[in-house]
Structure 1
Amino acid sequence: MKTTRKLAALVAALVVASVPLRATASDAAPGSATVFTRAYDTASKNVTLTFDADWWSPGNPDEVLRILRDNGITAAFSLTGRYVEKYPDQTRTLLAAGHKLINHSYDHPYFSGLSQSERWSELDQAEAAFNRLGFTSGGWFRAPYRDGYQDASVNRDLAARGYYVNFDWTFDTTGYEGASLDTILARVRQYTVPGATIVMHLSNDSTDTAALPSIISTLRGMGYGFTDPYHAVTQGLIGAKYAALGAQRSALGPPRSGEMAATAAGTSAVQWFDAGRIYWRNNLGAFEVHGAIGGKYFGLGSVTSFLGYPKTDETTTPDGKGRFNHFEGGSIYWSPNSGADLVYGAIRDKWSELGWERGFLGYPISDEVGVTGGRASQFQGGNVYWSAATAAHEVHGAILSRYLQLGGTSSSLGLPVGDEHDIDGGRASDFQHGTITWNATTGVVTVTNR
């Protein structure tokens, strides 16, 4: 016997409480942008290549991209909004190749001398120019002239506008000054350290493009390899998880923040990405949460909620029709027909006993809610009710339809005290103060109070 969504939804009118309230404080948006002058990994001999562009000239993006492609290097390009507006074709060429875009302001002012509203206007105008071409910086910024990059007020204002990564640099080749190849390579040899971020410039006057093949070969001769900006801002087990998932090409997308403490205890961490987060706890490991399940989890308070930390990545359900994450305190399931819903405790245990989503109950279609005398969750094929006195039991089909018509848990029947079971000629469910039976031959449903 199958209940309909319409009948199952009738119970929604009876709820008197919802899931536990969101907690506060931890896993909140950063209050200040994280400044990266080098990669997190300063032990391995890897460097990150980056290019700045203002707007006075376009440079030679095609040649830069050819050299990077031939050497298997993913770089970052910090572009001003005016460059993007003036050279849209060059911008599309650069970013379509998979390199990281960084917001370099709209027209390259000194940031330390601007007010908060002026800083935000610079960010917003540049981002609007990126968006018109279908791109976004994803909350990454680089200070023009390297001015104020360590200024606390600048980094607070960046974070308040959603820019959590201040992607600075370790040294400049000075190609923008027209430096000779010998000068550029001397700086490479002098200033390169493990994890270094090297800045070059994309302009007609810069000698960096012509020097780029020699820069790359010199670095390799020094024993250095190349990482990319996406990996440069991840580390440890969170970084390893991100890499294993496919890094920026995964469902998470590019990093949105640096790594942060997830709680004040100091034994956990979290990193935000464009489409989700990765959490690590020392006794659990690192797991990702994203999409609709992530939206539900973050809305509840993530690690500060009763769910605690994730214990799995988002995973395809055994029936192949949905997705789930398990957490310390319960689970969130999603399917195209049901959305993302929370199930936990004794109700989750009963659902598990009945076969999870492959059982007759199917997927949850509500979070667990308070009802008269106890708790309840709605599923595609029925409801599960719980109280401390009665334990968890399911009600479904024609019996559930009649039960809801009578008022469900607020009716004279009270809560179910057993699952639906066979009787001579049909099926029955027992309640605290009565029984509902269903006749398999006639389809008649009978209510008996006691």
Structure 2
Amino acid sequence: MEVRRLRRLVTVPALVVAVAVTAAAPAVASDTTPVQAQVFTRGYDTTNVASLTFDLDWRTGTAAEQAVSRANFETVLQVLAANGITGGFGMTGRFAEQNPADARRVVAAGHKIINHSYSHPDFMTLTQAQRWDQLDRSEAAFRAAGVSSAGWFRAPYRSGYLDAGLNRDLAARGFYVNLDWTFDTTGYQAADWPTVSDRIDRFTVPGTIIVMHVSTPSSDPGHLQQIIDKLKGMGYGFVSPWQAVTRGLIRGKYLAAGGASSVFGAATTGELDATTAATAVQWFQGGRIYYSPAGGTRFVRGAILTKYRALGTVTSVLAFPTSDETAGAGGGWFNHFQGGSIYWVAATGAHSVQGGIRTKWWSLNGEAGFLGYPRSDETKLTGGYGSQFQGGNIYWTSGTGAHEVHGGILTKYLSLGAMSSALGAPTSDEYVVAGGYRNDFLHGAIVWSSATGTATVIQN
């Protein structure tokens, strides 16, 4: 584990970067795949908090150098643990490939791994294909070690970190978070404590992201407790990288669910405008969290999210969620939205229900009633709409409203062509008559006989 002795220095002073560059790139409109990675030179926080990050690469060194680097690695993990601080590690693929157990230890301690390329080249000297190869090889090494970056990147040498072309290439490969830094301690140059302390004084700002280095000849591991104590003395607390890229109501929802240790895992984007500046969405490994003034802050995940995405998420008729994913009857789940609901159970998958059909279904006790869970989305039919359920169908037209048809009467109705048949749409639910059951339709009825087990069509 050797520090990058030939690391390039950025010519723009770190303090200027921290002031001139916003905490993150402007939010992207609409709940669609970002076309550029969002650059974080600082976290979203505007209060006195800092995030500690460490770049970690591997190059062959002497046995003595490797021993120092190993001791440095142990020191960093121990000091962070002793202070209850969760940090981030910009890790190269070759480090994870040669030290898989150490990569797993970083994750087991709760720290965030950031893809720092495979072999630490200057990305501004690479073609798109070469950049993607570096990302892919690094992720393959992470997977082999049992860890993941969750689509977070940090540029080697900080080269081109604000370059639009680079950030487009990152996004095209599924990397939507470009976690840069506010300032470097310069510990990688074996800086003494007065130098490091002076940089902390000059460059620390609310939401600051500090980059340090682990490998020899870095002085950062030896100074780490002093760095932490100095920041505390300045009135600073610490937030993990997981938290640094979240904010506001979405952060509150995320942390209430358990943060990075929950089903959501890591954020895979910054906060995005969902439809307008008054709305927001953030993508996570295990779902999405939405905010709208009408719906509040709600999460959608799993098969329900897959269906929601297929329908167009916030731009669909469903619009914004108005509930979190909630347990339904019989082991199923559902989310309510402004324009309808999506229900899921293993037997049927996820399907949307909306409008008058949903109102009728709910009046029959929804998924806990005899109709059970939906087996289809709402479908356009002749003169109206219909939805299939486990125990029957519901049909709706503007003239007749919504009515259910099930059992032997439904079988007969479907054999005739349902709403496109001569009977037209149903005008009643099934009801009891002498000797059986009946549904009325616009142009007749179907009567089912309990005695014979047959359905008879009556046409007007």
Q: Does the TM-score normalized on the shorter chain lie above 0.5?
A: yes
1:367 aligns with 2:380: no
Read off the aligned partner of 2:223 and give its amino acid letter.
Answer: A
Report the secondary structure of 1:210's partner residue.
helix
Moved over 4 A (4+): none
Distance across 2 between alignment mates of 1:84 and 1:249 = 22
Report the secondary structure of 2:360's partner residue.
helix
Distance across 1 between alignment mates of 2:106 and 2:217 = 19
Aligned length in residues: 423
The residue aligned with 1:20 is none
1:420 aligns with 2:420: no
Distance across 1 between alignment mates of 2:343 and 2:370 = 16
CA contact (8 A) 1:61 1:93 kept: no
Taking structure 1 as the reference length, the TM-score comes to: 0.90
The residue aligned with 2:230 is 218
- After superposition, residues 187-198 of structure 1 pair within 5 angstroms as 187-198=199-210
Q: Give CA deviations for 1:267-324 in whole Å, capped at 9, x if unaligned.
A: 212211112212222343221111111111111111111111111111112x362111
The residue aligned with 2:87 is 75
The residue aligned with 1:286 is 297
The residue aligned with 2:313 is 302
Identity %: 55
Distance across 2 between alignment mates of 1:92 and 1:238 = 28
The residue aligned with 1:391 is 401
Tell me the C-alpha RMSD between the 2 structures: 1.7
CA contact (8 A) 2:283 2:289 kept: yes
Distance across 1 between alignment mates of 2:201 and 2:457 = 87
Distance across 1 between alignment mates of 2:74 and 2:406 = 64
Report deviation, 1:168: 0.5
The residue aligned with 2:167 is 155
Report the secondary structure of 1:241's partner residue.
helix
The residue aligned with 1:270 is 281
Report deviation, 1:188: 2.4
Distance across 2 between alignment mates of 1:335 and 1:204 = 55
- After superposition, residues 113-262 of structure 1 pair within 5 angstroms as 113-262=125-274
The residue aligned with 1:49 is 52
The residue aligned with 1:313 is 324
Distance across 1 between alignment mates of 2:316 and 2:165 = 31
Q: Which runs of 5+ in 1 are unaligned?
A: 1-24
CA contact (8 A) 2:295 2:323 kept: no
CA contact (8 A) 1:169 1:196 kept: yes
The residue aligned with 2:363 is 353
Q: Which runs of 5+ in 2 are unaligned?
A: 1-28, 60-65
Read off the aligned partner of 1:237 and give its amino acid letter.
Answer: L
Read off the aligned partner of 1:380 and give its amino acid letter.
Answer: Q
CA contact (8 A) 1:40 1:195 kept: yes
Taking structure 2 as the reference length, the TM-score comes to: 0.88
Match of 1:27 among 31, 48, 51: 31
The residue aligned with 1:92 is 104
Read off the aligned partner of 1:123 and give its amino acid letter.
Answer: L
Report deviation, 1:83: 1.0
Report the secondary structure of 2:161's partner residue.
coil
Distance across 1 between alignment mates of 2:135 and 2:422 = 62
Q: Give CA deviations for 1:392-436 in whole Å, capped at 9, x if unaligned.
A: 100011211222233322333222110000112221111222222
CA contact (8 A) 1:61 1:94 kept: no
